[in-house]
Chains A and B, each alone.
Chain A
């Protein structure tokens, strides 16, 4: 974006949801210290997600070419149900725990505005296609980790993390399918409307 001064079909809605995901998940940087790595990575996640949102909102060139009439997914349709579910389905009814659970549920669906935008914009830019592919792959690798830990560690069970991570990965499934086919047939990636 910085280099070409254009948003490449990246959905601002999704970027804002990700910023909210990390803001609600990493509240513990104020309460307890786990390790230097832990706090540094959290600050990187927060810094990068908020700077993308800031850049897309503030930078005059990016903002002008960002197609806001296409990226119209209403956040609240995702935020409200996730908040409600986090209030009902959590492991401990404390503020931190509910916020953390909310961030997991929200992360599972945060990609939806981006996928909708990709369906609407006919020609998907390579950069954006790769970006979404890697976001999905990151999640898929977590599932491999969970399987390994379930098999090797006694009582390693995290239903909330597993279910939201699984749903998140499933949302990418059709994108992976079309991405693979466009790569195999060496065609431009297009998602059916």
Chain B
């Protein structure tokens, strides 16, 4: 989901 993904992938 965006929450865990957005940390390492812009």
Which A positions have Cβ atoms within 8 angstroms of B?
A: 25, 28, 34, 38, 41-42, 45, 91-92, 96-97, 100-101, 142, 158, 161
Q: Which residues of B contact A101 (CB under 8 A)?
A: 2
Dominant SS at the B interface?
loop
Within 8 A of A (CB), among B1-10: 1-2, 5-7, 9-10
Q: Which residues of B contact A100 (CB under 8 A)?
A: 1-2, 5-6
Dominant SS at the A interface?
helix
A-B contact count (CB 8 A): 26
Establish whether residues A97 and B2, one from each chain, have CB atoms under 8 Å apart when the complex forms.
yes
CA separation between A34 and B8, bound complex, in Å?
Answer: 10
Q: A34-B6, A96-B2 are known contacts; what are 20 more A-B pairs with Cβ within 8 Å?
A: A25-B6, A28-B6, A34-B7, A38-B6, A38-B7, A38-B10, A42-B10, A45-B10, A91-B2, A92-B1, A97-B1, A100-B1, A100-B2, A100-B5, A100-B6, A101-B2, A142-B9, A158-B5, A161-B5, A161-B9
